[in-house]
Amino acid sequence: MNITLSPEIERLVKQKVEGGEYKTPDAFFEYAARQAILGNNVDMNTRESVPSYDDVKDLLVEQHTLDYYARDADGKVTLDQVRRILSEVPSSLSDDIIKDRG
């Protein structure tokens, strides 16, 4: 099958392939066609490469959960501050779980 692409689409597909998201342009179009036909039921193995974060983020955490926590997020607290506070906790969560399973 032969298809004609606009120069913009051709450039975008080339970027995806060069960026390592797809092995070949054919792999890109195979994945795109499956996505269009099957929707979310596409087998990620048909992509012939490692999926990007955007492809799997909804599988990891649902968007409404991210939105819920984003409302309460405080940009003033740094990751280093959280790590420091957590390092001061006297026991580990794994110790507590082991003790509870007794």
Q: Quick one: how many helices (H) and strands (E) in the chain?
A: 6, 0
Per residue in 36-92, pLDDT (tens digit) is 777 766 555 555 555 555 655 555 666 677 777 777 777 788 888 888 887 887 777
Question: For 6-10, 33-37, 56-60, which range has the lowest pLDDT when averaged over its residues?
Answer: 56-60
Does 31 or 92 have the greater pLDDT score?
A: 31
Task: Give the type of residue at 76.
Answer: K
Rounded Cα gap, residues 25 and 10, in angstroms = 9
Rounded Cα gap, residues 22 and 13, in angstroms = 9
Give residue 56's pLDDT. 56
Rounded Cα gap, residues 76 and 29, in angstroms = 43
What is the pTM assigned to this prediction? 0.40
